[in-house]
Amino acid sequence: MNYKVKLLIILLLFFNSCVGTGTSGLFGTGVSVAVDPRSVGTQIDDSIMQKNLTTRLMLHDKKYFLSVKSKVLDGRIFITGKVDNPEEKLKITKLAWETEGVRSVRNDINIKEEFNFKQSAKDILITSQLRTALIVNKEVKSRNYQIDTYKKRIYIYGIAENKDELKLVVEEANSILDVEKVIASILLMEDLRIQKN
């Protein structure tokens, strides 16, 4: 293995590991161990799977570092982002399925189009509005959710404590002005393989 690849793997592990309780990681939303409904073992397994997939994507093509995001919940991989062509989307799906321990893969990657500043700004605004609404709502554990918006479509990944919370999150997303569609990949805590006692 050449020096640059080794350095890249070390940096990825260094910057994206051991997120403190109640903080966010450098590459995404961290979930506090104390309030995450998954068992600590499941959280560790998911974290290892996510780092494994991220590293393999980076080794395949460095541009995926910024253009593709992944989230692993209870062995289920959720992927979002933008790629240049359908073949790349299929390759990423294949790489995700090759991850050890994977139970399912949901690929919400979109094919890139010409950059539109107005659309990108609108997507950032929609994400910010939903994130704020979830933080303010005391009936929702906002740190259990990852939100991505692309072309006025909101993708929500996370774990809901119960069906009422799930319904509330989806309603909050649908109530935001200009949202065309809400794609919710939200697991219920009762559906997790191993839950915290």
Domains of the chain plus CATH, in order, are 36-111 (3.30.1340.30), 117-191 (3.30.1340)
Q: Would you say 109 and 80 are in contact if contact means Cβ atoms under 8 Å apart?
A: yes
- Reply yes or no on whether the pLDDT at 87 is more than 90: no
The one-letter code for the residue type at 185 is S
Does residue 20 carry a pLDDT above 50? no
**What residues form DSSP beta bridges with 150?**
153
**What is the predicted pLDDT for the residue at 32?**
55
Instruction: Report the pLDDT value the prediction gives residue 177, as an integer from 0 to 100.
Output: 92
Report the pLDDT averaged over residues 168-197: 86
Q: What does the pLDDT read at residue 28?
A: 44
Specify the pLDDT at position 11.
57
Which among 62, 58, 48 is positioned nearest to 17, based on CA atoms? 48
What is the per-residue pLDDT for 70?
Answer: 92
Q: Residue 29 has what pLDDT?
A: 44
Tell me what pLDDT residue 52 has: 93
| pLDDT band of 78, cuts 50, 70, 90 | very high
Helix axes 40-60, 86-97, angle to 10 degrees: 140
Other beta carbons within 10 Å of 4: 9
pTM for this entry: 0.65
Tens of pLDDT, residues 28-74: 444 455 667 788 888 899 999 999 999 999 999 999 988 999 999 98
Give the closest residue to 29 by CA, choosing from 166, 195, 147. Answer: 147
Q: Which residue has the tokens 């403190």?
A: 20
Please compute, for residue 177, the number of CA atoms within 13 A of its CA located in the half-sphere on the CB side.
2
Strand partners, 69: 80
pLDDT at 26 over 50: no
Q: Confidence class of residue 13 from pLDDT cuts 50, 70 and 90? A: low
Average pLDDT estimate for 136-148: 90
Host H or E run for residue 93: helix 86-97
